[in-house]
Structure 1
């Protein structure tokens, strides 16, 4: 999506979040900025994955 459509998409999802949860897979910063929480998987060692989550509402980092 281009930047203007990312914004429209985020507003649309925000309206629906009162009754529904969404899992969105994205690399777009604008979509991530609209989220309440982000999850990421990193692999610093071959075969070892690490989950990282960021709560954007409270602005804390959980590992």
Structure 2
């Protein structure tokens, strides 16, 4: 398993947390933990099952900006 912390702009509430964490979980092989205070998402993923680019795309599809 690999770990990566992403800076994500636009998150501000519990709905944002659920949206991002749910989108990443749907990919399979990945989990996410959102920290609203630092505007970051810590992801843990199996590189054999999902790419970091796919995780970033899933977050951006929810309407947030990965910077």
Please give the TM-score of this superposition, normalised by the length of structure 1: 0.28
Higher relative contact order (CA 8 A, sep 6+): 2
Structure label with greater radius of gyration: 1
